[in-house]
A and B are shown apart, each in its own frame.
Chain A
């Protein structure tokens, strides 16, 4: 057990820090969260800068245009970009973290040659068409239909929770190609250009009143069969392959952001007064924030354990599920404390009276999605109970 960085890792960090210091001033200010065109331009512009400097696809293999960084270097990369307040994967998180790695593992040479550079250079943005209104936690029950017609599949159905669907060029999509087979055995994985006729994209208003997610409707959408990745009806396996790419780095930026939120909240508590005393003088509140800070410290340590395990064995194992359950609960606990601390200032989604409260209220909202997205905490607890503790399934 040694948490110190090797000389090579320190050099990687120093070079990256120097580069970030050089180029970030030229990036310009971050656009407003709902100025979608400007955000796309900002995110893809940053991706191009990464590409030109050799940092694009930081964890992708070198043979496919990536940097081939180790999990620890990937950790350092995210840590330094967060510290410098540089963007990370932004709007193309699906392309860079999910679709790209899937293509590397499963796509044909032609598919790879066309799509991988597009992702790495910031030319193409990808979205994901996996979930459906009736296929959430039970994803394999998806029903969006693809029927073979000559050299095309004809798609009919609906997808949901498609982040940035209205801004994407391509969609990694799971479709039902066999309705008779067991549910996992009748699914195929397709690359769907989002400008194909018959695709209707409708922004889905979140409880915060913003529109990061979309519903996507498919009405006789023709997609060439050559856009299929992997064999017909082997799409479930193709989709799951990406999970094996996870090296414990999935939540690094979230933990760092959480720790910063806590520091920031402590700072706010020291400035907000109530009955002649600052909120920080409230011992109960102070202890609760101290406890939350300690818990995020622990999750940062767990992140490093998961990454170290991945570096040794190539797999994260149970640590990923454990992390997700604990982190999402803790973010909601932080949200509750935020509300009590800010009191009536927590009732506005925007900053009030020149207090920088908006980001905390936004974080509090966003925390409610964390126990749902990427596997609900209930499904994750089933996984921990059954796969780690060996408790029997009950279906």
Chain B
């Protein structure tokens, strides 16, 4: 047993971080937010970097790596707050042309209650859903939607789905859909882990520089302990996310279903709680549009609704007890 990252995994993660620091700094992310739609050139760069083809076989132009490596990459994407249907496009890479290369932006339709929504409706070239009988491709143009004027996360534009959604065409079988659901759970957890980690970094940096009562606020135990708890939540979530990824790669005796559910519960809760603490540590300025703390909390709230929220996953874990 060796749960440490291999040298190759460390290099991969460092490489992706360097790429994202260069092409998706928070300034650039704010630029995408202001534009109101995804940046296709940058999306294609993600594809060229291999973000969507990590687990595709090398013969199909992929990197031939595992879910473990994908999780490390998606942790970095979450950390950088990269917007867009990242997990959906990744999952679609084997089924929909252009997804792997970043030429086609692929969304996923997930029926919801009390409403169903489409994310990034104006940017989608293709759409699929994980149905009971397999993976079904739906033409986005056949769905009637009403745009949401003020989405909670300005980096995740939304539209409300009105009326019936066509069944779509079967493009992969039930086993593929089941697998995609588990991989999707784990990669979404990895995004949430990244959100939780970056929120911790931003809050800690601010606590070291902001002065009140003649000293930096990070020297006050009340603030220090908020930051410490953020790190604790993120590190516990990291263990759960990596364990789930390893289980999906068959490099573990753990039940991959339970591990994936646990990862989503832990990472989802960590992202939301750290997003909230991140705003708290910033104080009043944290409640403003200008400061990025709120963007991480907003992304956390969006990701919690993907593949079911943490309550549903807690329920599913209970069913396995």
Interface residues of A (CB under 8 A from B): 1-6, 9, 72, 75, 262-263, 266, 283, 286-291, 293-295, 297-299, 301-302, 304-305, 307-309, 311-312, 318-319, 322, 325-326, 378, 380-382, 384-386, 388-394
Contacts and interface: CB of A to CB of B under 8 A. Distances in A.
Interface string B205-238: 0011000000110111101110111011101111
A3 B68 contact: no
Interface of B: 1-6, 9, 68, 200, 204, 207-208, 215-216, 218-221, 223-225, 227-229, 231-233, 235-240, 242-243, 245-247, 251-254, 258-259, 261-263, 265-266, 310-311, 313-319, 321
A373 to B, nearest CB: 18
Q: Is the interface of B mostly helix, strand, loop or mixed?
A: helix
Given A294-B262, A301-B240, A322 B231 contact: yes
A389 B231 contact: yes
B251 A1 contact: yes
23 contacts: A2-B1, A3-B253, A5-B1, A286-B315, A287-B314, A290-B315, A291-B314, A293-B318, A297-B240, A298-B266, A299-B239, A301-B243, A302-B235, A305-B242, A325-B228, A325-B229, A381-B225, A381-B228, A382-B225, A385-B225, A385-B228, A390-B208, A394-B221
A291 B310 contact: yes
B9 A1 contact: yes
A385 B224 contact: yes
Contact of B3 (A308, A322, A325): A308
Given A290-B313, A305-B239, 18 more contacts: A1-B4, A1-B5, A2-B3, A4-B251, A75-B1, A287-B311, A289-B318, A291-B314, A293-B262, A293-B318, A293-B321, A297-B240, A325-B228, A385-B225, A389-B227, A389-B228, A392-B218, A394-B219
A381 B225 CA distance: 6
B227 A4 contact: no
The 8 lowest CB-CB distance pairs between A and B, nearest first, are A290-B318, A301-B243, A298-B240, A385-B224, A302-B239, A3-B252, A294-B262, A301-B239
Contact of B317 (A1, A294, A305, A380): A294
Contacts of A266: 318, 321
B218 A322 contact: no
Contacts of A311: 2
B239 A298 contact: yes
A308 B1 CA distance: 7
A298 B310 CA distance: 14
A287 B265 CA distance: 11
A332 to B, nearest CB: 15
A297 B227 contact: no
A1 B242 contact: yes
B79 to A, nearest CB: 16
Looking at chain A's contact residues, the main secondary structure is: helix
Nearest to A392: B219
Contacts of A389: 200, 204, 218, 224, 227-228, 231
A391 B208 CA distance: 6
Name the residue among B5, B229, B261 with the largest chain A CB count within 10 angstroms: B229
A297 B229 CA distance: 19
Given A290-B316, A290-B318, A2 B220 contact: no
Max chain B C-beta neighbours (<10 A), residue from A1, A72, A266, A318: A1
A189 to B, nearest CB: 31
A6 B251 CA distance: 11
Nearest to B225: A381
Contacts of B225: 378, 381-382, 385
A263 B228 CA distance: 30
Contacts of B4: 1, 305, 308-309, 312
A298 B254 CA distance: 12
B224 A388 contact: no
User: Which of B243, B261, B311, B316 has the most CB atoms of chain A within a 10 A radius of its CB?
Assistant: B243
Given A1-B68, A308-B1, A325-B232, A297 B259 contact: yes
B236 A298 contact: yes
Given A298-B237, A305-B3, A381 B311 contact: no
Contacts of A286: 315, 318
A4 B313 CA distance: 25
Contacts of B229: 325, 381
A189 B238 CA distance: 39
A1 to B, nearest CB: 5
A297 B315 contact: no
A151 B62 CA distance: 75
Contacts of A302: 235-236, 239
Nearest to B237: A298
A308 B310 contact: no
Given A290-B314, A294-B261, A308 B204 contact: no
